[in-house]
A = this chain, B = another copy of it.
Amino acid sequence: MVPITVVESELAAQFQQVGPASAPAYERVKNLIAAGVRSGRWSDGQQLPSEHQLVSALGLSRMTINRALRELTHEGLIVRRAGVGTFVATPKAASALLQVRNIADDVRRHGHRHRTEVVHVREESSEVADPELRAVAGPTVFRSLIVHFEDDTPIQLEDRLVNPAAVPHYLERDFTRQTPHAYLNEVAPLTRGEHIVEAVLADSTERRLLRIARHEPCLLVRRRTWSYDVLVSSARLLHPGSRHRLEGSFGAD
């Protein structure tokens, strides 16, 4: 037995006026909850109404409520724990997502020719790697240093470390024919990733390989990728600021 509380009838009233009336029910539920979270109506870490309560309050089926809450979880607005409840996620501000694309596709999508030059591909002591990669990789890692070109302009310097346990035949590949990214994705499908983007100045070696001037600002993307919970690769992608940018969008609710 679940009595209709004040909270629930409030919700029912707001439900009528959230977003376009023609939108599907699960969208309107998402808008309702998102509006409540973003306005501070429910604050950080606070428990939201349960699915069952929302079913009673809004007169929808549990599957519809469930879909709305599941998608909001995916979007990072709320956090759910089985057996406990649904809570406002702590970084409550709407977070925006930026898409970091594969550079080869990006170049071709803009109608240019993509090619690579391989500086070296070799085995090195895993002391050059971060602790997490070192832990899973053993005493040595594979390392490739590759320059990506758009037509004949250098556009990315890719310095990549690879876990030999996950990709034993990495050294044998010809990376002028297939990018490391594409090969890794084939051998160990990318299921998780992490990025850090910074603005930096390149050192002299990097400037020479990218053919840029002394004070040209560069976009540095550090990327680590996992395949089914195994850390596969850790890369340092350096782009001349004048020749490359990251684009992306989010939402399209």
Q: Which residues of B contact A19 (CB under 8 A)?
A: 228
Q: Within 8 Å of chain B (Cβ to Cβ): is A5?
A: no
Determine the distance from Cα of A236 to Cα of B45 in the docked complex, in whole angstroms: 31
**Complexed CA–CA distance, A246 and B39 (Å):** 25
CB distance from A230 to the nearest CB of B (A): 12
A249 and B193 within 8 A (CB): yes
Q: Across the interface, name the chain B residue whose C-beta is closest to A23.
A: B228
CB <8 Å contact, A199 and B218: yes
A100 touches B102 (CB 8 A): no
Please give, as numbers and ranges, the residues of chain B lying within 8 Å of A49 by CB-CB distance.
Answer: none
Interface string of A240-251 (1 = CB under 8 A from B): 110001111111
CB proximity of A214 to chain B, nearest CB, Å: 8
**Interfacial residues of chain A within 18-64, with CB under 8 A of chain B in the complex:** 19-20, 31, 34-35, 38-40
B200 and A251 within 8 A (CB): no
Total A residues in contact with B, Cβ cutoff 8 Å: 61
**Shortest CB distance A154–B (Å):** 15
Which B-chain residue is minimally distant from A247 (CB atoms)? B196
A92 close to chain B: CB less than 8 A: yes
Contact A97 B95 (CB under 8 A): no
Each complex incorporates copies of this chain amounting to 2
B186, B199, B247: the one contacting A39 at CB < 8 Å is: B186
In the bound complex, do residue B217 and residue A96 qualify as a contact, i.e. CB atoms below 8 Å apart? no
Q: Are B94 and A97 in contact (CB under 8 A)?
A: no
| B-chain residues with CB within 8 Å of residue A92 when the two chains form the complex | 105
* A91-B235 Cα distance, complex, nearest whole Å: 21
Given A99-B96, A217-B218, CB of A250 within 8 Å of CB of B197: no
Check if A139 is an interface residue, CB within 8 A of chain B.
Answer: no
Give, as a whole number of angstroms, the nearest-CB distance from A31 to chain B: 7
Most buried by B among A74, A197, A199: A199
Q: For chain A residues 86-121, which have a beta carbon within 8 Å of chain B?
A: 91-102, 104-105, 109
The answer to the question of A153 belonging to the interface, with a C-beta cut-off of 8 Å to chain B, is no
A103 and chain B: residue at smallest CB distance? B93
Does B197 contact A98, Cβ atoms closer than 8 Å?
Answer: yes
- CA distance in complex: A74, B251 (Å): 10
A-B contact pairs, 12 of them (CB 8 A): A93-B102, A93-B104, A96-B193, A97-B248, A98-B195, A98-B246, A191-B253, A193-B251, A199-B199, A199-B217, A199-B219, A219-B219
